């Protein structure tokens, strides 16, 4: 989901207008327009009365329990209401109610819709152009983790069991490969599988840390990629983290690794262009995170950071490859083979990270020691 960027060229289905009319927002609806580039849910901006809000159709193939998602959003909103929030901090979207006092609207064809507040005067970035923007992304993620550091993880539902638990993705890939005829697979698929096989020992590194007691469950965002950080149009400061459907009990290292993966590769997931892990952007982002996270990020946490940086693009590559072998059942695609290409680009990012291991470890140590 991307809040802050409207694409008026895309068609809005009539069911979106029907859903918009079901929510308890005052004023006439002036427009319903597609919003963002999300790969999972369908998202719209609703202009109503003097303001705007966000309407989403939740993807039932991904979110099997939308009620649990809404429970989490309301629990988070209630937790934040008890805090005196820093005006220099971040704000999060809040859930809205239907006219019938429900958290969700189910249409006649059993589609599930929900509404949240719109973060006004905001924008998101397609890529980071300067270190100051990376610093703000890191600061925003650190603020998010800090806001919920005192919320017991067991207070939230695990809405996506296995999500961002890397061994689960490798198990799913192995299961799919066992069902396939590899003799008929393309050379690109076989090359990708060999790449993963050479790094199997990396996949469970964070889960092993959890079992050893080195890493502890906390509230994780689940998808802190660059698209999901909103910046104030006037000041350029990061003011929100959005797309909260994946918030759940988990390891903060998955959040950090995913954020680095998203922000430190200027080429992104688009096709074309060289894939390089940018050390300058990484250093600025980690500096922003450490600026606000020192109170809850321990020395042991730091020891697992490099592993997290290397693991998350490998994890996402495994997910893209699995979806390719499943016929593109999870991630939206524009053309056949796109998920395979996405996987290849993530693996290229892993190679870039591995080539810069010494420099990455040195930056982590220097910034943590202050």
Q: What angle do CA 152, 241, 124 make, to 5 degrees?
A: 170
What does residue 144 show for φ and ψ, rounded to 5 degrees? -60, -50
Domain count, the chain: 2
- Domain span at 178: 131-369
- Are residue 203 and residue 302 in the same domain, yes or no? yes
Q: Is the pLDDT score of 222 beyond 60?
A: yes
- Measured CA to CA in angstroms, residue 329 lies from 19, 158, 169, 312, 339 at distances of 25, 22, 15, 21, 10
126 in a structural domain = no
Q: Which residues neighbour 352 within 8 Å (Cβ) at sequence distance 6 or greater?
A: 265, 275, 276, 277
The string of pLDDT tens digits covering residues 55-79 is 998 876 667 788 999 999 999 999 9
Global pTM value: 0.89
- Are residue 215 and residue 362 in the same domain, yes or no? yes
Give the range with max mean pLDDT: 103-112, 156-165, 188-197: 188-197
- Are residue 235 and residue 326 in the same domain, yes or no? yes
The structure tokens 């369908």 sit at: 42
First-to-last alpha carbon distance for the chain, in angstroms, is: 35
- Are residue 162 and residue 262 in the same domain, yes or no? yes
Q: Is 282 in contact with 367 (CB distance < 8 Å)?
A: no
What pLDDT is recorded for position 5?
40
For position 44, which CATH number holds? 3.30.200.20
β-sheet bridge partners, residue 105? 113
2 in a structural domain = no
The string of pLDDT tens digits covering residues 141-178 is 999 999 999 999 999 999 888 999 999 999 999 999 99
Domain-terminating residue out of 120, 144, 178: 120
């Amino acid at each position: 989901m991307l809040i802050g960027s409207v694409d008026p060229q895309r068609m809005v289905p009539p069911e979106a207008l029907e859903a918009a009319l079901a929510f308890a927002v005052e004023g006439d609806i002036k427009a319903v327009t597609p919003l963002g580039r999300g790969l999972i849910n369908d998202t719209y901006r609703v202009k109503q009365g003097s303001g705007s809000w966000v309407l989403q159709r939740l993807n039932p193939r991904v979110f099997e329990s939308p009620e649990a998602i809404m429970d989490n959003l309301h629990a988070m909103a209630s937790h934040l209401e008890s805090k005196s929030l820093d005006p220099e901090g971040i704000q999060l979207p809040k859930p809205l109610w239907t006219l019938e006092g429900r958290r969700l609207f189910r249409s006649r064809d059993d589609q599930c819709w929900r509404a949240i507040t719109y973060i006004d005067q905001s924008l998101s970035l397609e890529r980071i152009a300067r270190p100051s923007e990376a610093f703000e992304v890191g600061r925003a993620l650190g603020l998010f983790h800090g806001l919920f550091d005192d919320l017991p993880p067991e207070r939230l539902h695990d809405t996506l069991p296995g999500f961002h638990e890397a061994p689960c993705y490798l198990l799913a890939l192995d299961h799919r490969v066992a069902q396939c005829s590899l003799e008929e697979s393309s050379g690109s698929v076989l090359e990708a599988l060999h790449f993963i096989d050479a790094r199997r020992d990396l996949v469970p590194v964070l889960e092993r840390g959890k079992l050893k007691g080195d890493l502890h469950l906390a509230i994780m965002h689940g998808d802190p990629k660059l698209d999901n950080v909103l910046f104030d149009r006037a000041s350029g400061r990061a003011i929100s983290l959005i797309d909260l459907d994946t918030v759940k009990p988990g390891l903060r290292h998955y959040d950090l690794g995913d954020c680095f993966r998203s922000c430190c590769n200027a080429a992104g997931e688009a096709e074309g262009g060289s894939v390089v892990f940018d050390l300058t952007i990484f250093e600025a982002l980690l500096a922003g995170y450490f600026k606000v996270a020192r109170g809850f990020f321990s020395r042991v946490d730091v020891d697992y950071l490099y592993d997290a940086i290397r693991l998350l693009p490998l994890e996402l590559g495994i997910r893209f490859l699995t979806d390719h072998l499943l016929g593109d059942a999870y991630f939206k695609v524009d053309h056949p083979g796109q998920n395979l290409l996405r996987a290849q680009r993530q693996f290229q990012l892993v190679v870039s990270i591995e080539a810069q291991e010494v420099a990455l470890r040195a930056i982590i140590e220097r910034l943590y020691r202050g």
